[in-house]
Amino acid sequence: MTSMAFHGGRLEGTVSPPPSKSHTHRAFFLASMARGRSVVSNALMSADTRATLAACRAMGADVEGDGDVKTITGGDLHAPGFVDAENSGTTMRIFAGICSMFDGESTITGDDSLRKRPMGPLLSALEQTGTVCGSDNGLPPVTVRGPNRGGRVSIDGGVSSQFITSLLMVSPMLERDSEITVEGDMVSAPYLDVTLHMMHLFGADAERDGNVFRVRGGTGYRPFDYMVPADFSSAAFPLVAGALGGRVTVRGMDMDDPQGDKAIVDILRMAGADVEVNGTEITVSESELKGCEVDMGSVPDLFPVVAVLLSTAKGDSRLYGAPQLKFKESNRIETVVNMINAIGGDAVATDDGCIIHGRPRLKGGAIVHKGDHRIMMSAAVASIVCDGPVTMDDVECCAVSYPGFPEEMAAIGMREEVI
């Protein structure tokens, strides 16, 4: 593990953010379930998406190709037996639903962090279809034995939208039509728009009516050549960096894509940043920031970097609406608040977010990110408004979603050193 010190700096330049991790996961799984040959290009190749590819191979999909272009031939699938999702919650959750279509038992596990993340709501929903599920009191490793034939299910929507995505994506492969009713709050709802959009591209007949989703069964998926779009949640780091100190442009962004994290553009404007959108380019320049209130319920992945954005904004800020943050790679509410305070900020945790009292400058210091890639990168960005360096271990964890993040930030002026 590499330890680094980030010394901030005035950033100037253009960045091409990596492809979307959430789109890459979905494309790999959909292409694997489609009967025939699909090409997924501009895929994000990270530890998490490699775990998904391994799961696809384990259930019988053929995967070829080097780099970010993968040719996937699906159709003749089977229960995978045993699969290690490593640290990828998306792999674990989506694949558990997919495995329910097989008349055979599958076991899915992960690393220490993943084995602490809840699976109960998904397993309870699958059991309503006759699927036999096992777990360690709702935690991984999980076992799944189908066949899931579809029908009506209900699921708690307050923990993770990935559970609903899992049920949706397997539904066209099932014997009967599916009707999925989401009870309570529907957290991270924009990710479900992405799921439905991509299912349609691969030939599924699925619709949403409020909190009810209906999917036609027995259709399967058809092959489709898909190009993964750039990731707004990753673009948020250089964009916030520009707002804190400099002028940064990100390119290759599609403002018409259903990614919920494109809300970073509106959040930056709400906080007083100077934002220009010109086609597929977004430029953010330093300006005086002001405190604001932001509902993070639909965009929880932005929580760490938005907290950094507002840590030196004038006045108080409130981030709210995202209790599901407690079930991410770390308890992101607790870890983000600790990170902000460790470098001289003033943040207080709440049940669904945090309160931030803006300070003119931060002092820097050592932070603990608990292997959470988004907190690691947010802390590096925070160094721009620190009088001293921000230091941390295991900078490699950023490769989960943004391989090459330190190098790209250094190229536009971030001062860094290995310690």
Average pLDDT over residues 401-410: 96
pLDDT above 90 as % of the chain: 95
- pLDDT of residue 319 exceeding 80, the answer is yes
Same fold, 4-18+230-418 and 21-227: yes
Q: Given this model, what pLDDT does residue 185 score?
A: 87
- Confidence class for position 80, pLDDT limits 50, 70, 90: very high
Average pLDDT over residues 282-293: 98
Which fold does the domain 4-18+230-418 belong to in CATH? UDP-n-acetylglucosamine1-carboxyvinyl-transferase; Chain (3.65.10)
Average pLDDT over residues 263-268: 98
- Confidence class for position 37, pLDDT limits 50, 70, 90: very high
Per the annotation, the verdict on 301 as an active-site residue is: yes
Q: Given this model, what pLDDT does residue 328 score?
A: 73
* Residues 21-227, CATH architecture: Alpha-beta prism (3.65)
Interacting residues of 114 by C-beta distance below 8 A, sequence separation 6+ = 85, 86, 87, 88, 89, 92, 140
Q: Are 95 and 114 in contact (CB under 8 A)?
A: no
The pTM score is 0.92
- pLDDT of residue 171 exceeding 90, the answer is yes
pLDDT tens by residue, 100-153: 999 999 999 999 999 999 999 999 999 999 999 999 999 999 999 999 999 999
Average pLDDT over residues 394-406: 94
Domain ranges of the chain: 4-18+230-418, 21-227
- pLDDT of residue 88 exceeding 90, the answer is yes
Q: Pick 159 or 356 by higher pLDDT.
A: 356
Average pLDDT over residues 372-384: 97
- pLDDT of residue 8 exceeding 80, the answer is yes
Average pLDDT over residues 49-76: 97
- Confidence class for position 409, pLDDT limits 50, 70, 90: very high
Q: Given this model, what pLDDT does residue 75 score?
A: 85
Q: Which of 367, 260, 372 is nearest to 326 (CA)?
A: 372
- Confidence class for position 193, pLDDT limits 50, 70, 90: very high
- pLDDT of residue 321 exceeding 90, the answer is yes
Which of the residues 301, 351, 393, 394 is marked catalytic? 301
Q: Given this model, what pLDDT does residue 33 score?
A: 99
Q: Of 190-194, 299-303, 323-327, give the lowest mean pLDDT range.
A: 323-327
pLDDT tens by residue, 205-254: 999 999 999 999 999 999 999 999 999 999 999 999 999 999 999 999 99
Q: Given this model, what pLDDT does residue 12 score?
A: 98
Task: Please confirm whether the linkage preceding 147 is cis (ω < 30° from 0).
Answer: yes
- pLDDT of residue 23 exceeding 80, the answer is yes
Q: Given this model, what pLDDT does residue 330 score?
A: 73
- Confidence class for position 1, pLDDT limits 50, 70, 90: confident
